[in-house]
A and B are shown apart, each in its own frame.
Chain A
Amino acid sequence: MSSFFNNVDWYDIWLATLDTLMMLGGSMLFTVLFGLPLGVILFLTAPKQMFEQKALYGILSFFVNVLRSLPFIILLIVMIPLTLLITGTSLGVAGAIPPLVAGATPFFARLVETALREVDKGIIEATQAMGASTWQIITQALLPEARPGIIAASTVTAITLVSYTAMAGVVGAGGLGDLAIRFGYQRFQTDVMVVTVVLLLILVQLLQSLGDRLVIHFSRK
């Protein structure tokens, strides 16, 4: 048993796990920060919605589609100059967060838009009839009603981000993915590969079950 894991430096694994968690936490934070408002704007300006704005919706939608159609590995490389500008480095956790956010935000925004569309129009209308302002409709009716959907969207996004962080390892971001590639793939240390994969798997499982629990908790239907 111990001979199978003899390439594994558990301290390195621990550091890499921390890096992955930091990348995930940091990028998730900014993804929600940018993606939630973007999703709300997409929803509101879409055809036949409260603030139908064909031009604005068209531009935002195009921008989102472009970012989403770009393979993440390409985005990582294309983003390097911009990342340098924002964080001063294209390496490590800090260097990975801008491309992760750029990759996940459009994805998350679309999911938020879809979740908001699921909200019964009658509820928006009832809230309007009460004399609510647009801001009140968004904060008091739309977002609370779409909360389970937005939580589910966050779960999917977080899991996507886990796989993105692994990919970010390729360009020197660190983390479990980096470990898997450098040791597991390039030096044929299968044991390191197995350990990192298992850890990533556990992380994904944890995120999914946490998300599911929250969705159930907030679904009153």
Chain B
Amino acid sequence: MIQFKHVHKAYKVGGREITALEPCDLQIPEGQIFGLIGHSGAGKSTLLRLINRLEEPTSGSILVKDQDITALDAAALRRFRQGVGMIFQHFNLLSSKTVADNVAMPLKLANELSKSQIRARVHQLLERVGLTDHAQKYPAQLSGGQKQRVGIARALSTNPSILLCDEATSALDPQTTGQVLQLLNEINRELNLTIVLITHEMDVIRRICDQVAVMDAGRIVEQGSVSEVFLHPQHPTTRRFVYEDEHLDEQEQLKRFAQITGCIIKLTFQGESTYSPLLGEVARHSGVDYSILNGRIDYIRDTPYGQLTLSLIGGNTAAALDAFRAADVMVEILRP
């Protein structure tokens, strides 16, 4: 769907070149929600804005549906952009236009539908995002969550196949964030829309993304399915994000382990096994005693998962580990 081939981006600042994106190869499959996470200045916005050519790549090519968009002329680029929606952290709605006129704007610019067709489409979109009552209000009269829903309706008006979200929920409170994420999740399913989403919260990735790329200093340092990256983070940056999400401090945890006896393991359950009564069963059969040091049961998009950190004392540790593995539970030995 979206393919980066050795895309490199450098900005010229006062004669000096600043690399914002190291040569990068990337594939974003159709219909997925693709998350980009990284610290401030990592190059997330740069990467995202290359997709609709708000930024021009310094070198490399970007293919969208097998079309090299870096080769488009001005008119073709405008047509291409009509097929790519975008939403922003600060919404970027026109304060001089009503909600309905904001949503109608891309349609008016495209100039393909009649006035009555536009009106019908705007009504349909406002209904979809639950804002029909606010059609004639101005953005200043809306809450943040409502503004972002106007932004989403506006971005969807031309029936795009791609939606780009640059920190779409960063300016919202947790509850409103949840609602906006829910809406993005639904439209991704309903419209088979490919969504590329920037965030610096692992929680957002975990809740709605299929795949994730972790960025650090202009590089993609880790990439894969969310469950893979989230449950088994490799790169230090990724680990930091995951631990942040779990409100854990890696160093702190290691210090605590030093005072605990026994074999310390981390179990990862996914899908069905999450709710099975495995722990007691294994303990009975292998004769180990366990204490739970840490634990969490949650969802990755719609799949439940659980992670438990245990210390095993006595009994047959090896047999216990085998039993866990046999039940499709991923076992990591943190300290033998």
Contact = CB atoms under 8 A, between A and B. Distances in A.
Instruction: State the majority secondary structure of interface residues on A.
Output: helix
A132 B78 contact: yes
Given A136-B109, A144-B96, A220-B96, A131 B82 contact: yes
Contacts of B108: 140
Interface residues of A, number: 21
12 contacts: A120-B92, A125-B54, A125-B88, A126-B86, A129-B54, A129-B84, A129-B164, A130-B81, A130-B158, A133-B74, A136-B109, A220-B95
Interface in A133-147: 133, 136, 140-141, 144-145, 147
A140 B109 CA distance: 9
A125 B105 contact: no
Interface in B102-129: 105-106, 108-110
A136 B109 CA distance: 7
Interface residues of B, number: 30
B333 interface: no
Interface centre among A120, A123, A145 (most CB of B within 10 A): A123
B88 A130 contact: no
Nearest to B157: A130
Given A123-B92, A220-B139, A220-B140, A129 B97 contact: no
B90 interface: yes
Contacts of B94: 123, 127, 141, 144-145
Contacts of A125: 54, 88, 92
B92 A131 contact: no
Interface string B155-182: 0001000001000000000000000000
B79 interface: yes
Contacts of A120: 90, 92
A123 B94 CA distance: 7
Given A130-B82, A131-B78, A144 B109 contact: no
Contacts of B97: 144
Contacts of B95: 145, 220-221
A122 B92 contact: yes
A7 interface: no
A125 B164 CA distance: 13
Contacts of A145: 94-96
B218 to A, nearest CB: 21
A145 B97 CA distance: 9
A126 B92 contact: yes
A46 to B, nearest CB: 18
